[in-house]
Structure 1
Amino acid sequence: MDENAIRALMARHTDLWIRHEMDEWGALFTEDSDFITHRGLWWRTRAENVAGHKDVPPSVLDQKKNYTQDVVDIQEVTADVALVHTVWTWPDHRLPGAPAEDRRGLITFVLVRTPDGWRIRAAHNTRENGLTDFTATAT
């Protein structure tokens, strides 16, 4: 496993996300990749993932400069599969008409080695402080 190549992929992932270069960002994923959003949407292809992430209000795009993502763990599953965990923060995130909030969370990535280098096969994004988004209460 080439940890430096994986870290470089994740740094590029973050940079393209911040710049909202979603087509280039999408190229970091396999065609059949899965992405589960922090709200529980499950996109099952690269195309669905990119389209879903392009659909962002312009006001949110301006805030992406505040986003950070750091690799906190890389584990080799096999020589061609890696498990990567990142921590992200997004201070002063503001949806249209809503107050600003400091968001943070974790993303679990499954990376696979392809002829073109490491690519993201699956990602699961979880908000660490997202419970207040839901109005339903447990009974």
Structure 2
Amino acid sequence: MAERLAILVWAADPSVPHLCATPFYFAAAAAAMDAEVEMYFTARSVQLLERGVAEGLYADGAPDAPGRRSVADFLREAHGFGTRLYACPTAMQAHGVSADALREEVQGQAGAAAFIGRTLDEGWRTLSF
């Protein structure tokens, strides 16, 4: 039976790009190991789900170096392995992210109650970034 992992992403602030790729890296690794993975974005991290934002962020801060990957590359990789991405509607409102501006990879909107539901379910494990 595959494991289930819910990841809360709250501290991956786009103004601190070196913190933004790691949650996607862990999500991709878990999904590649056949885990069911969901990521819940809140606080400023919800901005990573806005079209165009992650493309301009590099975890090492060097967009022009050969072989460098943007945060969007990590996001697409995690999604490609089956990770589902959810934006917190309260965070979206607080940070001016409209539903129309969300990336196509975003599964939908889900907030605190959805993530807490996962933490209380014995069939799910959780991580926070």
TM-score by length of 2: 0.29
Please identify the structure whose Cα radius of gyration is greater.
Answer: 1
Would you tell me which structure has more helix in proportion to its own residues? 2
Structure having greater relative contact order (Cα 8 Å, sep ≥ 6): 2
Would you tell me which structure has more strand in proportion to its own residues? 1
